[in-house]
Chains A and B, each alone.
Chain A
Amino acid sequence: MSYHEKRAIVNMFTSVLVTVSYSVYLYVRYLAGGGEFANAPRFWANAFLIFIPISIVANILVTIAFTIHYRLTAHEEEPAITDERDKLIELKGSRIALYIFSIGVVLAMVTLAVGMPISVMFITIIYSGLLSSLVDELTQFILYRRGF
């Protein structure tokens, strides 16, 4: 398995781990609030804004750990360049991810329109972000596995 394929798998696991862990943390806080946070926009907006840096930092840490692990186990350095095929593969993954996230945002608006609690809207956005990230990495994995 190539560097990029391994990296895609690691990124998928990281996305799932970070999102699920944060969801559990939020759920515990939500229960502690006795359900009063269901329609508290400030609570959910804060939860969403805090999730972004947590996700970025987690990805940076995992990338560093993965790079060190790859060098030690594969006895070679990660590819030093990103060539035209890498960029095309990345673009294909990003395009599909963008479609999925856009659908997620529309669905989130639908939940508000039909009168669901505001928590459902934020959860829909967070999980459509997770789904788009997974599909992005999976697309890249498949394209690297096939050659293009």
Chain B
Amino acid sequence: MSDCPITNTIRKLRFNHGEMTQDELAKKVGVTRQTIIAIESAKYSPSLELAFRVARVFDTTVEEVFTYQPTETETKP
């Protein structure tokens, strides 16, 4: 279980991009494979810059890759 409120679709996007490996994605965005694993399993929230770089690799928007899940106590402004 993770407390990270940000979920992502990286696994699906990798599959849709010719079964891109975690290592290939890591090299494209300039991080280690362990960091991609941590992001995919929602254990680590990437920086905004890294989020944009990941979205760019899949030629999509950040919102398509990452989704913020508000907690129950959070209310809309």
Q: Quick check: B31 and A81 within 8 Å, CB to CB? A: yes
Asked if A147 CB lies within 8 Å of chain B CBs, one says: yes
Q: How large is the interface on A (under 10, 10 to 19, 20 to 34, 35 or more residues)?
A: 10 to 19
Say which residue of B2, B41, B47 sits within 8 Å of A84 (CB atoms). Answer: B47
Binding site for A on B (CB under 8 A): 2, 30-32, 34-35, 37-38, 41, 43-44, 46-47, 50
Q: Are B43 and A84 in touch, CB under 8 angstroms?
A: no
A86 touches B32 (CB 8 A): yes
Whether the Cβ atoms of A85 and B30 lie closer than 8 Å is no
**Which residues in chain A, 1-38, are within 8 Å of chain B measured between CB atoms?**
2, 4
A83-B30 in contact (CB<8A): yes
Chain A residues whose C-beta falls within 8 Å of the C-beta of B41 in the assembled complex: 147
- Given A84-B50, A147-B37, A148-B38; A79-B32 close (CB under 8 Å): yes
- Cβ A81 vs Cβ B30 within 8 A: yes
Q: Please judge, given known A-B contacts A146-B43, A147-B43, A148-B44, whether A81 and B38 are in contact too, CB under 8 Å.
A: no
B44 touches A147 (CB 8 A): yes
Q: Which of A86-142 contact B (CB under 8 A)?
A: 86
- B43 and A83 contacting across the interface, CB-CB below 8 Å: no
Closest to A146 in B: B43
Cα separation A2 to B37 with both chains bound (whole Å): 12
Residues of A within 8 A of B2 (CB): 147
CB-CB under 8 A from B44, the residues of chain A are 85, 147-148
By a CB distance below 8 angstroms, the chain A residues around B50 are: 84
Q: Which residue on chain B has the smallest CB distance to residue A86? A: B32
Interface string of A71-88 (1 = CB under 8 A from B): 000000001010111100
Q: Which of A2, A81, A84, A86 contacts B46 (CB 8 A)?
A: A84
- Bound-state Cα–Cα, A4 to B37, Å: 15
